[in-house]
Structure 1
Amino acid sequence: MNQTTFLDRKTPPHIITLVMVSGLSALTMNLLLPSLPGIASFYDADYALVQLAVSGYLAFTGLLQLLIGPLSDRYGRRPVLLGGLGIFLAATALAPLAPNVETFLFIRMIQAAVACGMVLSRAIVRDMVDTDEAASMIGYVTMGMTLAPMIGPALGGVMEEIFGWQSTFILLLVFGAAVFALTWFDLGETNHHPSSSMLRQFGAYPELMRSRRFWGYTLTATFASGAFFSFLGGGPFVATEILGMNPSELGFYFMFIALGYMAGNYLSGRYSRQIGINRMMVAGCVFSTFGMCVSLVLFLAGLYHPLSFFGPILLVGLGNGVTLPSANAGIVSVRPHLAGSASGLGGAMMIGGGAALSAIAGAILSVETGPYPLIGVMLGSSIVGVLATLYVIRIENSLPPEQQTRPGEAR
């Protein structure tokens, strides 16, 4: 690992900076969730339309990741990250001024430029450390960034009740400006071997797509996180319309999944090198599946209580926290010289799948159906995550012994 000096633009960034840029991405996605019903009321719009602030945002994030990775491989991590943060700040300042829901949603899509923090933090980690340390460091980075989605919905719910939903964007603007300043003064360039052309980087996608290991890790990440993204799309509706919760209560209960995610990230940071990324992914997907089975049983038993939904959600967060650092380490390590492109392409597939599941969850829910469609989507996604992980292990077992992954490695 290269020597890091805090607030020195000539050295790799401190882990605090990586946590902050990743946390800003997470906060932007989560802070608005308790306000979705209020935004629908403010613009006199259907909830399904306003829910595009989540699913459409995720879809646009996925598309941007296809561009962010190659751009950073060609021009460097620093200029692309600073440019993305600048665009995000401009959109965040404009969002509270939107005169109608269509303009609001358009500006919300532009906010997705903050995804550069999520994409490039993984690529920067891969620039800084060897493969066998990547899952561990990504785990610690995501554990630290989990503080944002843990307090974000709770804070957003309280602010929405007291000041209105526009205040959440003011908070994002202040925090985003602080992160931009920190990145400016601390982020040294870590891509010391930039590609000679953008076309070459886009040409890397077929090479990645031909890799069965890349597909295995990407599918694991997509469906493991699919339960979480489905939760983002349908959770606010279940909480407010079916369980009768107000925005501040919803924000409080959102802490459950964040607490689980933080615990899972700690386990990843602590044990990924010893246990190995494949076994970590299996364990995480099983945790998520078990959590949704528990929720289904509780509702079938007639226990319509917030803890019947949000309690087992803690296990989904735990499972994601265990699975995703290892899956992401595998994605960016299949072809180390294409770490940025791999992070972007893998992230686009993961977020794109999440956007689809989020939209499905938001569209099929109604008061008449109860929470069961959302639970079904989340449970199904978790089960497919288990199957995708078993596919990765099957690929691993088909390799000659000398090519098989040791604990902590990804090939």
Structure 2
Amino acid sequence: MLEGRTVVTTRQRRGAISLLLAMVLLGVFPLDVLLPSFPALAEHFASTPTDIALSISLFAVGIAFAQLLIGPLSDVIGRKGLLLAGMAVSILGAIGCVMTSDYTLFMTFRIVQAIGCGCFVLSQALVQDLFEGAERDRLRILMVTATGIFISISPLAGTFLQATLGWRGSFWLFIALAAVVLLKAWLFLDGGRPVAKGTPLNFLSAYRRVLGDFEFVGYWLISAFAFACHFSFIVISPLIFMDQLQLSAYDFSLILLIYGAAYVTGGIAATLLSRRISSAQQIVAGLSLILLAGLVMLFLSQYLALSPVTVLIPMLICTAGTTIARPAATSRAMGLFPENAGTSASAGSTIIFICGGLISALISLSPGNLQATLGYCFVLLSCIALALNKRISHRASVIENGAVTPSGSD
């Protein structure tokens, strides 16, 4: 973030980690805390649960496009100002959501909130700025694991908020948490000059540079496909558990609590694997677990009736794979252009959220068996990601042997 690499004290490191984890919390909170409120939102806006599910996917796409500008601008004008501005915009969007009773206006304000939440892409850039080597990799694993913990807690919190304050309660809590993060960012982050030189208009050339690199795009696509498997389940889980299986909001939140525990297990496994095998091998191991999860889900959907168990078993396997593969792929991608950490994070996160939003929207609109559709999605995405990882490894091997230049083709 500053000219050259900043020396970070132990106290600053702790402050940075707590800020990053708070940003992770707010990154998943607007999506997952609303899940138990799907029926109430549908009733309030005279809509259907499917329409509400689509609003979640649209929110993810809105974040993706906001990140396109935020990341590269942060390389030029610094992280702090953009983070503070983003938090303020997200708060205004959340206030608009609780004030309206019209579905179209609600969606408009959700997009405004999503645009503000685009500032959370800076968490990856801050990791790149403030940490190095193995500590950086471990922190990314911690952030993915924390994502799972927050995912598991958010629906339970949403159930409590729905019972006490109605669906608007989740937005009021988001506003309060966002205000705390805004204050923390104001106090902790400095306003020093960024690493990148030039003007804000140079972000186009920065994007051309990073997106023109096959390895960079490939690793982010691998991370995106792993994320899409998780996000698709999150989006359609209310349709499966609350709509099809007729579970209460409380029972649904308990199921997601179990699902979130898989992230903790996956995080522990990822930490242990990071000390014993290379990141390339971690990617293969994680994607293989996602492929296995898809096959198990297809088998269970074919031979057993739909139940929480037949959905949760493959999802626990998938989540462990996601937790192992995503941090490894992200670290590899972010390490390619450290001087453009903001642009790299924005480009990658945009790929992730567009893939997650579009794929989850397609699955939620599927006229067939949602469980089987999810299984086919896992198999297809994991196979594509494995093939892509193999292609990247082959290309790197050819380049290392001097048969082709990094910008060329083999």
**1:397 and 1:131 mapped to 2: Cα distance?**
23
1:401 to partner: Cα distance? 6.0
1:45-91, CA deviations, whole angstroms, 9 ceiling, x for partnerless residues? 13332223211001111111111111111111111111111111121
Match of 2:292 in 1: 290
- Contact in 2 for aligned 1:365/1:371 (Cα 8 Å): no
For 1:88-127, list aligned pairs within 5 A.
88-127=90-129
Which residue is equivalent to 1:53?
A: 55
Contact 1:70 1:341 in 2 (8 A): yes
Q: How big is the shift at 1:261?
A: 2.2
- Give the 5 Å matches for 1:252-401: 252-272=254-274, 274-365=276-367, 369=369, 371-400=371-400
Equivalent AA in structure 2 for residue 282 of structure 1:
V
Corresponding residue of 1:187: 189
**Cα distance in structure 1, aligned partners of 2:325 and 2:21:** 18
The answer to whether residue 85 in structure 2 is matched with residue 83 in structure 1 is yes
Query: How far apart are the structure 2 equivalents of 1:172 and 1:72?
Result: 24
Distance verdict in 2 for CA 1:370–1:115, change over 3 Å: closer
**Are 1:34 and 1:153, in contact at CA under 8 Å, matched by a contact in 2?**
yes
Equivalent position of 1:22 in the other structure: 24
Residues 222 and 354 in structure 1, CA contact (< 8 A), matched pair in contact too: yes
Are the aligned partners of 2:54 and 2:364 in contact in 1 as well (CA < 8 Å)? no
- C-alpha deviations, 1:244-296, integer Å up to 9, x for none? 21222222212233222233233334442542211111111111221222222
List per-residue Cα deviations over 1:375-409 (Å, max 9, x = no partner). 32233223323222222322232232699xxxxxx
CA–CA distance in 1 between the matches of 2:290 and 2:251?
23
Partners of 2:21 and 2:370 in 1: CA distance: 37
- Which deviates more, 109-118 or 216-225? 109-118
Q: 1:274 to 1:113 in 2, by over 3 A?
A: farther
Q: Alignment partner of 2:7: what SS?
A: coil
Structure 2 spans left out of the alignment, 5+ residues:
1-5, 404-410
Q: Distance in 1 between the 2:375 and 2:271 partners?
A: 29
Contact residue 219 and residue 333 of structure 2 kept, 8 A: yes
Cα gap change, 1:84 to 1:266, in 2 (>3 Å): farther
Corresponding residue SS for 1:72: helix
Give the match for residue 408 of structure 1: none
Amino acid at match of 1:381: L
Query: Contact 1:2–1:12 at 8 Å: present in 2 too?
Result: no
Q: Is the 8 A contact 2:75 2:194 kept in 1?
A: no
| Cα-to-partner distance string for 1:16-68 (whole Å, 9 max, x where unaligned) | 11111121111122111221232112211133322232110011111111111
Match of 2:319, SS state, is helix
Instruction: Give the corresponding residue for 1:409.
Output: none
Identical columns (%): 22
The more displaced of 31-40 and 156-165 is 156-165
1:351 Cα deviation from its structure 2 partner: 0.7
Relative to structure 1, the CA distance from residue 109 to residue 273 in structure 2 (aligned partners, 3 Å threshold; closer, same or farther) is: farther
Checking the alignment, whether the CA contact within 8 Å between 1:124 and 1:190 is kept in structure 2 is: no
Report the residue type matching 1:66 in the other structure. Answer: L
Superposition TM-score, scaled by structure 2 size = 0.90
Look up the equivalent residue of 2:394 and give its one-letter code. Answer: R
For residues 120-139 of structure 1, the aligned pairs below 5 Å read: 120-131=122-133, 133-139=135-141
Q: Which residue identity does 1:330 align to in structure 2? A: R
Q: How many residues are treated as equivalent by the alignment? A: 398
Backbone CA RMSD of aligned residues: 2.4
- Give the deviation of 1:365 after TM superposition: 4.3
> CA 1:191–1:225 in structure 2 vs 1: closer, same or farther (change >3 Å)?
farther
AA in 2 matched with 1:4:
T
In structure 1, what is the equivalent of residue 43 of structure 2? Answer: 41
TM-score by length of 1: 0.90
